[in-house]
Every structure is written in C-alpha cells, then in structure tokens.
Amino acid sequence: MDFLKRLRRYPVALAAGLCILAVVLTALFAPVLAPYDPDEMDTATRFAPLGTPSHWLGTDEFGRDILSRIIYGSRVSLLVAFAAVAVALAVGGVLGVLAGFSGGMVDVLLMRLMDLLFAIPALMVALGVVGLLGPSAFSVVVALGVAYTPLFARIARSAVVGVRSAAYIEAARAMGASPARLIRCEVLPNILPILLVQVTASLAWGILDEASLGFLGLGVQPPTSSWGAMLTTGRQYMYQAPSIALFAGAAVLVVVFAFNLFGDGLRDLLDPRSSR
C-alpha cells in the first residue's frame, strides 16, 4: 500500500490514526474492556473519588463506574457519528450526482436548497429535527445526517460536473456506458481524496455535535451512557464527582482532536501539490 507508506512520513497523522483505531476497538470490545456493567448501580459506593482502587475514575450519583460508562459511551458517540456521516454521504452523494448529471432547473433548485441548508448551523438544524422527532439516538442521526448533507452534495456535484464535460466521458456515454458505471469508474476515483478528508472532518463534527445535543438533553436519553449526557449529569454533581464531566469531556476532546489531526494530515498527504 503506497498510501500507508506515505502515511509514515506524517507521524502526527499516523499517531492520530492509531488513536482513532484504538477508540474504535474500545467501542467494539467495550464488554471485554469495561471493568463493570455501565448500568450496574451500587448505592454503597456513590460518588467514589478519583483513584479508588476498585473504580479508577470513581463512581457517579448511582454508584455506577465512570470508566465503564465512558468506555460504553464511545459506542454511542462513534455509532451516531458514523451513522450520521453515512446518511449525509448517501443522501448528499445521490443529490449531488443527480444535480450534476441532470443540470438545468433540477441542478439550480437542488443546489440552492443545499446552500440554504448549509447556511443554517448544524446545531440549529438538529434542534429543528429533534423538535419534530423527539429526542433519541435516531433523531440525532437524522438531524446531523441532514445537516451534513450539503457538504457531500457539493463535492459530488462538482466532481460530476467536472467529469461530465470531459471529452472522454462523452465518448464513453456514446459507447453506451451507464451513468452508474461512469460514476464508479470515472467520478469516484477522482473525488475519493476530498471525500475521505470530508468524511474525517465530518466525523469530528459529528462527535462534537452529538455531545452538544446530549449536553442539551436532546440526544441519547438516560440511562444509556453517552458522553454528552454524562456532561449534563456531571455538571449537576460538579462538587461531589468532578470526574464525571471532566473525563467525559476529555474523551470527546481526545477523539475529536484525533479525527481533526488525522483529517489535516490526510489533506496534506493527498494534496498533489504538497512539497514534502
């Protein structure tokens, strides 16, 4: 893999990539890694402080192990973020390709709509969608999916328009190649780098926005452990158990930072003009 070889010249991005991998593995193997069941309550050990031998990060208001809740919380964060980006990629991709291939009025209308949606901050769009569907993980996925759609629609459209005008496409079309084939063979390879960078950046946003919504009480509902929700409860018990909010926030920060670093490195790496 040429890509992996080149990645080695970007140690920061590589480290960030490994960090992401570690988080993904943590989410996958949460039951193995977490010392406790995240929902297991133990009223005897409420608000155990940081550094308690049996509970390294302490316990929360119900005596639940904070470390275990953070480990399980990674599942919600990653799942919601990945699902939201997948929705945005699918919907945005289809809309962008549609706009690009059909041109004319369809193109103008679709892209104006995307511009409008893009102008509204993601959190606002999410507020609207959650207002419609009620707070839940599903709503958050739909909300963020909708909010990120214009990003991918734009990329897809510009790629299609760029390729459509190329002479060899005309030739391929004349020879009876189907649009689906054109997209797979001509459009996709061209935009893969930008798409990859955009996906990484969107994942970072997704995790942040999920946590924000969770914090506002509009995300995943208790008792499911999510980082955003932990921050809300953590705030109420700031005196008794500061580590709830502290570590939940730190988890968000680390993961988002890793995604952003990786995305930055990826952009440099995939930039044909990069001189390194």
Partner 1 sequence: MLRYTLYRLLLFVPLLWGLSVVVFVYIHLIPGDPVQAMVGSSASQEFVAQLREEFGLNRPLLVQYVDWISGLPAGDLGITFRSRQPIAPLLLARIPATLELALAGLLIALLVGLPSGILAGLFKNSPFDHLFSIVSLAGYSMPLFWLGTLLMVWLGVNWKVLPSQGYVPFTQDPLKNLQYLVLPAFSLGLGLGPYIGRMARAAVIEALQEQYVNYAHAKGLRMRTVVNRYVLRNAMISLLVVFGLNIGFLLSGQIVIEELFNWPGAGRLIVRAVLERDYFMIQASVLIYASIFLAINLLVELLHAYLDPRVQLK
Point out which residues bind partner 1 (CB under 8 A): 119-124, 127-128, 130-135, 204, 208, 211-212, 215-218, 231, 234-235, 238-239, 242, 245-246, 249-250, 252-253, 256-257, 259-261, 264
Distance, CA of 227 to CA of 187 (rounded, Å): 38
CB contact at 8 A, 48 and 36: no
CA dihedral 140, 210, 216, 61 (to 10 degrees): 110
Closer by beta carbon to partner 1, 125 or else 183: 125
> Distance (Å, rounded) from C-alpha 118 to C-alpha 210?
18
In this complex, which beta carbon is closest to partner 1, that of residue 189 or of residue 217? Answer: 217
Q: C-beta of 88: minimal distance to partner 1 in Å?
A: 17
- Taking the C-alpha atoms of residue 92 and residue 149, their distance in angstroms, rounded to an integer, is 5
Closest distance of CB 109 from partner 1, Å: 13
Nearer CB in complex with partner 1: 139/224: 139
Q: Which residue has 């990003």 as its token pair?
A: 151
* CA nearest neighbour of 126 among 143, 138, 145, 151: 143
Residue 267 corresponds to which tokens in the numbers above? Answer: 């952009």
Q: What share of the chain is helix, strand, coil (3-state, %, to 5)?
A: 75, 0, 25
Nearer to partner 1, 54 or 240 (CB): 240
Q: What is the DSSP string of 165-199?
A: HSHHHHHHHHTT--HHHHIIIIIHHHHHHHHHHHH
Q: How far is CA 254 from CA 26, 129, 159, 208, in A?
A: 14, 28, 33, 11
Compare residues 80 and 187 and give the one whose CB is closer to partner 1.
80
Tokens of 238: 């700031």
Please state the closest distance from residue 135 (CB atom) to partner 1, in A: 8
In angstroms, what is the minimal distance from the CB of 36 to partner 1?
24
CB 266 within 8 A of CB 197: yes
For partner 1, which is the closer residue by CB, 155 or 182? Answer: 155
Q: Nearer Cβ to partner 1, position 90 or 132? A: 132
In the complex, least distance from residue 198 CB atom to partner 1, rounded to whole angstroms? 16
Contact 59, 66 (CB under 8 A): yes
Closest approach, Cβ 131 to partner 1, in A, equals: 4
